[in-house]
């Protein structure tokens, strides 16, 4: 049996340059140094360090499987060390923001950082697309993953490729109850949509082809639900495998031609369009946004990462960006009104309850 390959992306916001804008070059350089050491020690086979806005992304190829303690502990310690050695001395903004514990305690997923991992036996050629987003939440992947793996108007292969004609199984996580359910599509697409249309609660975590072949994995951590209060957004990551019996790379990217509305803009409290951008433009400015997503393509070989191809660095996505700017203007004009501002259930985890608390005693009872 050939050794299986695991691709892990583990990310955290551990402080950034000028408010919540971008990761500092010294943080990236320090992360490179630590990952190079991990490669030399044999812990990992290959790596890439990048950022989407204020989130530092550690992408690793290795052969240790999913949920591996050594990999998780390494990533945790890397985030801690970069916080101590770079973020704090430079007084970067919100240094160590996503690290919700003092020391690693066995499962990085409940400690702040976001994780997406896929373990697989490499095919003759194995393309993957790694997505990372800023100023949004894990449910932001629901719409594009549904389009790619369940909508024949997006993915021609669902109709014309016998390898995927039977459909995919979606694992959906209830992030409030910590429960998951698997739904068979296309048979259960209406049930699936009944859940994932509420992206703040139900998030797609894994997708398998009907024969069990793993096709996608997404992070599901919601910081506010771990900490019980707003501590920054849960800017998510996702890995999608493509081609040869799976959706093509172009079918994986196609949903992003429509900048759908996601939660997480400004103070984690507003809806805005998800704008597909190149790495160079993965930095939030206007009203701390609008929310952005990058897509990096790799050919995986023996757990090594060939790439990245910066897939949204393409005029074919200019129209989506223009549409996102239109939608941003339209929503911004609502100011503090819903639906630009999130609904009350989501606002519970922000600082708004403190403001409302002050008014509590001023309410007088009136008749019906």
Per CB under 6 A, residues contacting ligand F6R are 19-20, 94, 135, 232-233, 266-268, 288
The encoded tokens of residue 64 equal 């240790």
Shortest distance (Å) from residue 55 CB to ligand F6R: 9
DSSP character string of 98-125: T--SSS--S-GGGSS-EEEEEEE---SS
Residue 288 is a binding residue for Mg ion (CB under 5 A): no
Smallest distance, Å, CB 283 to ligand F6R? 12
126 is an interface residue for Mg ion by CB under 5 A:
no
Beta-bridge mates of residue 50: 57
Residue matched to tokens 């669902």: 158
- Of 117, 134, 137, 234, the residue at the interface with Mg ion (CB under 5 A) is 134
> Minimum distance between the CB of residue 19 and ligand F6R, rounded to whole angstroms?
5
Active site residue 40: no
Residue 55 interacts with, from ligand F6R, Mg ion, none (CB under 5-8 Å by kind): Mg ion
Q: Are 170 and 220 in contact (CB under 8 A)?
A: no
Helix-helix angle 25-40:69-82, to 10 degrees:
150
Active site residue 230: yes
- Could you write out the three-class secondary structure of 184-243? EECCCHHHHHHHHCCCCCEEEEEEEECCCCEEEEECCCCHHHHHCCCCCCCCCEEEEECC
Q: Which of 298, 241, 252 is nearest to 48 (CA)?
A: 298
| Catalytically annotated residue among 13, 55, 235, 288 | 13
Residue 11, beta-bridge partner list: 57, 114
181: β partners? 172
The minimum distance between CB 262 and Mg ion, in angstroms, equals: 13
Residue 233 annotated to the active site: yes
55 vs 251, beta carbon nearer Mg ion: 55
20 or 64, CB closer to ligand F6R?
Answer: 20
* Complex with Mg ion: residue 52 or 261, whichever CB lies closer: 52
Residue nearest to ligand F6R (CB): 288
In angstroms, give the least distance from the CB of 219 to ligand F6R.
Answer: 15
Taking the C-alpha atoms of residue 8 and residue 271, their distance in angstroms, rounded to an integer, is 29
For position 119 contacting Mg ion by CB under 5 A, the verdict is no
In three-state secondary structure terms, 80 is helix
Q: What positions carry a catalytic annotation?
A: 13, 230, 233
Residues at the contact surface with Mg ion, assessed by CB under 5 A:
13, 20, 53-55, 94, 134, 235
């Amino acid at each position: 049996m050939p050794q299986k390959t695991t691709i892990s992306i583990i990310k955290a916001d551990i402080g950034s340059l000028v408010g919540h804008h971008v990761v500092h070059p010294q943080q990236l350089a320090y992360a490179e140094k630590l990952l190079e050491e991990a490669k030399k020690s044999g812990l990992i086979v290959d790596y890439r360090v990048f950022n989407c806005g204020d989130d530092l992304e550690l992408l690793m190829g290795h052969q240790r499987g999913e949920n591996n303690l050594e990999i998780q502990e390494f990533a945790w310690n890397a985030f801690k060390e970069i916080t101590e050695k770079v973020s704090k001395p430079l007084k970067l903004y919100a240094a160590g923001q996503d690290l919700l514990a003092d020391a690693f305690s066995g499962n990085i997923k409940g400690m702040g950082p976001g994780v997406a991992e896929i373990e697989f036996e490499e095919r003759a050629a194995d393309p993957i697309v790694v997505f990372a987003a800023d100023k949004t939440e894990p449910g932001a992947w629901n719409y594009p993953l549904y389009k790619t793996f369940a909508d024949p108007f997006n993915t021609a292969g669902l109709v014309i490729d016998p390898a995927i004609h039977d459909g995919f199984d979606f694992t959906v996580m209830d992030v409030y109850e910590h429960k998951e359910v698997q739904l068979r599509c296309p048979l259960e697409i209406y049930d699936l949509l009944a859940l994932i249309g509420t992206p703040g609660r139900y998030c797609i975590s894994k997708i398998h082809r009907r024969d069990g072949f793993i096709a996608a994995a997404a992070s599901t951590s919601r910081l506010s639900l771990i900490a019980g209060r707003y501590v920054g957004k849960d800017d998510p990551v996702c890995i999608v495998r493509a081609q040869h019996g799976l959706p093509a790379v172009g079918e994986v990217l196609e949903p992003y031609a429509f900048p759908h509305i996601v939660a997480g803009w400004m103070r984690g409290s507003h809806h805005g369009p998800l704008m597909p951008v190149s790495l160079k433009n993965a930095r939030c400015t206007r009203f701390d946004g609008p929310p952005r997503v990058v897509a990096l393509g790799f050919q995986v070989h023996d757990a090594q990462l060939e790439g990245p191809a910066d897939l949204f660095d393409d005029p074919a996505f200019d129209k989506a960006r223009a549409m996102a700017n239109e939608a941003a203007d339209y929503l911004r004009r609502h100011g503090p009104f819903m639906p630009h501002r999130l609904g009350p259930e989501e606002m519970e985890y922000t600082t708004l309850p403190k403001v409302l608390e002050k008014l509590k005693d001023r309410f007088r009872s009136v008749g019906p």
